[in-house]
Structure 1
Amino acid sequence: MAKRLNNQSTVGDVLKKIIQVNKLQPGMDQIDVKDAWKNLMGNGVNSYTQNVVLKGSTLYVELTSSVLREELSHGKSKIVTMINEELRRDVVTAVVLR
């Protein structure tokens, strides 16, 4: 039987416990990183973004524009920093642009 939490726990604490017990954090990270990419990159980049996938701590981004891919490849470390700052924790360590 699952451990019962005391009645004075906040909803946020209960949700964090559920995520931890059921090992849902990688899925939550995947969703959070996709949202962070959309928010940070804006409409211009998002219109050329085909897919954003987080595997482990590596972010894979599929782009339809080779020119944009080349331009973004010069700022990979900045992209990693911006996404981690948006999420307020270190989730992404590398970016692969395809």
Structure 2
Amino acid sequence: MAKRNNDNQPISDILKEFVDANNLQTGLDKVNVREAWAKMMGNGVNNYTTNIILERDVLYVQLSSSVLREELSYGKEKIIKMLNESLGKDAIYKLVLR
């Protein structure tokens, strides 16, 4: 049975320890990047977004509109910067629009 700590700790510290101990950060990043994309891009782009996958440091976004894909390709660096700021760390280094 686990030993109980009598020290008072903030719940954020306890959750951070749990995430680190169980290697859950990559899974949380995948969920957080989907939420960040939806929040940053708005309904106009989200209506044409069919799939978002984060593998290592590459974000793959599948779009159903070729015109929108071309428009977004001009601002890839800005999109990467905005998403990383929203996540609070550099989780994305490359954006691939499909």
TM-score, normalised with respect to structure 2: 0.94
Q: Which amino acid aligns with 2:27?
A: G
CA deviation vs aligned residue, 1:70-89 (integer Å, no higher than 9, x gap): 00011110010000111111
CA deviation vs aligned residue, 1:20-42 (integer Å, no higher than 9, x gap): 00000000000000000000000
Alignment of 1:3-82 (within 5 A): 7-82=7-82
Q: What runs of 5+ residues in structure 2 fail to find an aligned partner?
A: none
Moved segments of 4+, more than 2 Å:
1-7
Closer, same or farther: CA 12–48 of 1 in aligned 2, 3 Å? same
TM-score, normalised with respect to structure 1: 0.94
Q: Shift of residue 2 of structure 1?
A: 6.1
CA deviation vs aligned residue, 1:39-70 (integer Å, no higher than 9, x gap): 00000000000011100011000000000000
Q: What runs of 5+ residues in structure 1 fail to find an aligned partner?
A: none
**Aligned CA-pair RMSD:** 1.5
Q: Which amino acid aligns with 1:80?
A: I
> Percent identical across equivalent pairs?
52
Q: Shift of residue 5 of structure 1?
A: 5.2
